Amino acid sequence: MSSELIKECTKRRQILRERMLPNSIAVIPAANMVTRSNDTEFPFRQDSDFHYLSGFPEADAYLVISNSPLMGDVFSALFCLPKDELAEIWQGRRIGAEAAPADYEVDIAHPLDDILVGLTSYLNGHENLYFARGHHGPSDALMDEVLANLRNAPKQSKIAPSCEFDIRLLLHEMRLFKSDFEISIMRQAAEISCDAHIAAMKYSEVGKNEFHLEATIHHHFAMHGAKSPAYSTIVGSGDNGCILHYTENNCELQDNNLVLIDAGAELQGYAADITRTFPVNGRFSEPQKALYQLVLDAQLASFAMFKPGSTFKAASDKAIEVLTRGLIELGLLSGDLEDNIEQQNYRQFFMHGLGHWLGLDVHDVGNYKVAGADREFEPGMVMTVEPGLYVSETAEVDPKWKGIGIRIEDNIVITEDGYEVLTDKVPKTIADIENLMAN
């Protein structure tokens, strides 16, 4: 575990403490293992909020953060699985309550078996509880029991918090703004992912399968330190490129088809999220070129709207204007530009948003509206910019357009005076893609 991460986590807990109302306590659960089938589990992934505040990598743990002197010198406590020789032979090493405080800079750690009694005692007397109700079923039930213990204590000998706040409001606002430490990890995740896309472009060939490209990508991630993808990799060739979350990835690559790859590595918990679309055989056909260039033009035009004070709505309006004008010029839409935009006719071909926050979660946390208004961009926010056009085989259009699905997705960080693209290493102009694939 990197000491830099642990220092960041300590700083984050301190900020949370300062932002909570006085005399408050927060409880944050870790993720649990999830059964895949008999006696086997899905690969473990830590809960993003818990990771953000603790850096502790194990399942079945709880983090407690207080800003009250009620708990003496204890401002952060961890409950974790106890050391257990037999369990560790079967399921893996555990850090244990003895080692955790020094390794993770918490004031104290307890074995998980003490959670009910321990939480009851910690919550006692705090006025406010910060907790993510509905996020993790077992913790909801545990918290109900803890609160009942406090409320039902004989002769009102214990005091339950009188207010419960949703911790997500405070915590996700913090997560929305990335520190230099976080941006440097995201830059590395982006770089690994860019190179993986380049490897897949080079490997593409008629007769290979979508899952060969998926394997090329995942191999590259792992060989460069990113053990897992940040989400299920999408490799959609031909009409499959029009299925937005296609993950079957098991069709043979056909001559004259495009292939859309949406793949990003997860590095130290942080996601990259890149899409590139390229011809299986390395050469775009004329209709593919026309639609591809339109998506690229829309993306490049929208980039100008990514700067402090601007909004996703402003950027999205720009992309929609370019896409709609182009669709009219190509004959995929007819009529007047304003009417088409007003009627949202482009939605037949571009049916998702322009982008989303990016961070520990691929669709990262953070509000998109503030007091009902579109959220303004500020330095340190990281997001995707991903216009697309999808003309499926069932669309009622000239057959030359059918089976063409295109998305171009990059990751950017808002800076003091604009934006920085984290993912510009993968080619995306028609000429650059064709050149790369020809060599």
List contacts with ligand GLY (CB under 6 A).
Answer: 231, 262, 273, 362, 386, 409
Known catalytic membership, residue 175: no
* Closer by beta carbon to ligand GLY, 179 or else 232: 232
Angle between helices 96-104 and 3-19 (to 10 degrees): 80
What's phi and psi for 178, nearest 5 deg?
-90, 135
Known catalytic membership, residue 368: no
Residue 413 CB, shortest distance to ligand GLY, in Å, is 17
Catalytic residue selected from 245, 347, 393, 424 = 245
Known catalytic membership, residue 145: no
Catalytic residue selected from 182, 266, 364, 386 = 386
Known catalytic membership, residue 136: no
Residue 233 CB, shortest distance to Mn ion, in Å, is 10
What is 185-216 written as a DSSP string? HHHHHHHHHHHHHHHHHHH--TT-BHHHHHHH
Catalytic residue selected from 8, 352, 374, 376 = 352
Catalytic residue selected from 292, 346, 390, 419 = 390
Angle between helices 115-123 and 137-151 (to 10 degrees): 60
Catalytic residue selected from 39, 85, 396, 417 = 39
Footprint of Mn ion on 349-388 (CB under 5 A): 384
Known catalytic membership, residue 356: yes
Cα–Cα distance for residue pair 22/315, rounded to 1 Å = 40
Known catalytic membership, residue 110: no
Q: State the DSSP H helix or E strand holding residue 382, giving kind and residue range, or none if neither.
A: strand 382-385
Residue 424 CB, shortest distance to ligand GLY, in Å, is 17
Regarding 273 and contact with Mn ion (CB under 5 A), the answer is yes
Known catalytic membership, residue 84: no
Q: Which long-range contacts (CB under 8 A, 24 or more apart) does 253-258 make?
A: 253/204, 253/205, 253/206, 253/207, 253/208, 253/209, 253/210, 253/213, 253/280, 254/206, 254/280, 255/206, 255/280, 255/281, 256/280, 256/281, 256/285, 257/403, 258/284, 258/288, 258/292, 258/404, 258/405, 258/406
Task: Pull the structure tokens for residue 72.
Answer: 């003496």
Cα–Cα distance for residue pair 345/328, rounded to 1 Å = 10
* Closer by beta carbon to Mn ion, 243 or else 341: 243
Residue 273 CB, shortest distance to ligand GLY, in Å, is 5
Residue 393 CB, shortest distance to ligand GLY, in Å, is 22
* Closer by beta carbon to Mn ion, 182 or else 409: 409
- CA nearest neighbour of 273 among 178, 357, 351, 379: 357
* Closer by beta carbon to ligand GLY, 279 or else 355: 355
From the list Mn ion, ligand GLY, none, pick the one residue 46 interacts with, judged by a Cβ distance below 5 to 8 Å according to partner type. none
Residue 244 CB, shortest distance to ligand GLY, in Å, is 8
From the list Mn ion, ligand GLY, none, pick the one residue 410 interacts with, judged by a Cβ distance below 5 to 8 Å according to partner type. none
Catalytic residue selected from 47, 49, 210, 262 = 262
Torsion (CA) 390, 395, 398, 400 in degrees, nearest 10? 50
Known catalytic membership, residue 424: no
**Residue nearest to ligand GLY according to CB distances in the complex:** 262
Single-letter amino acid code for the residue at 168: R
Angle between helices 3-19 and 180-203 (to 10 degrees): 130
From the list ligand GLY, Mn ion, none, pick the one residue 214 interacts with, judged by a Cβ distance below 5 to 8 Å according to partner type. none
Residue 245 CB, shortest distance to Mn ion, in Å, is 9
Residue from 210, 262, 361, 410 touching Mn ion (CB under 5 A): that is 262
Known catalytic membership, residue 39: yes
From the list ligand GLY, Mn ion, none, pick the one residue 231 interacts with, judged by a Cβ distance below 5 to 8 Å according to partner type. ligand GLY
* Closer by beta carbon to Mn ion, 119 or else 176: 176
* Closer by beta carbon to ligand GLY, 27 or else 358: 358
Single-letter amino acid code for the residue at 373: A
Catalytic residue selected from 273, 321, 364, 410 = 273
Task: Pull the structure tokens for residue 306.
Answer: 């990514």
Known catalytic membership, residue 410: no
Task: Pull the structure tokens for residue 422.
Answer: 């984290």
Catalytic residue selected from 172, 407, 410, 419 = 407
Known catalytic membership, residue 212: no
Task: Pull the structure tokens for residue 302.
Answer: 């929208």
Regarding 410 and contact with Mn ion (CB under 5 A), the answer is no
3-state secondary structure 271-288: ECCEEEEEECCCCCCHHH
Torsion (CA) 6, 223, 221, 90 in degrees, nearest 10? -60
Residue 406 CB, shortest distance to Mn ion, in Å, is 13
- Residues 112 and 96: beta-carbon distance below 8 Å: no
- Residues 230 and 275: beta-carbon distance below 8 Å: no
Interaction site with Mn ion (CB under 5 A)? 262, 273, 384, 409
Active site residues: 39, 245, 262, 273, 352, 356, 363, 386, 390, 407, 409
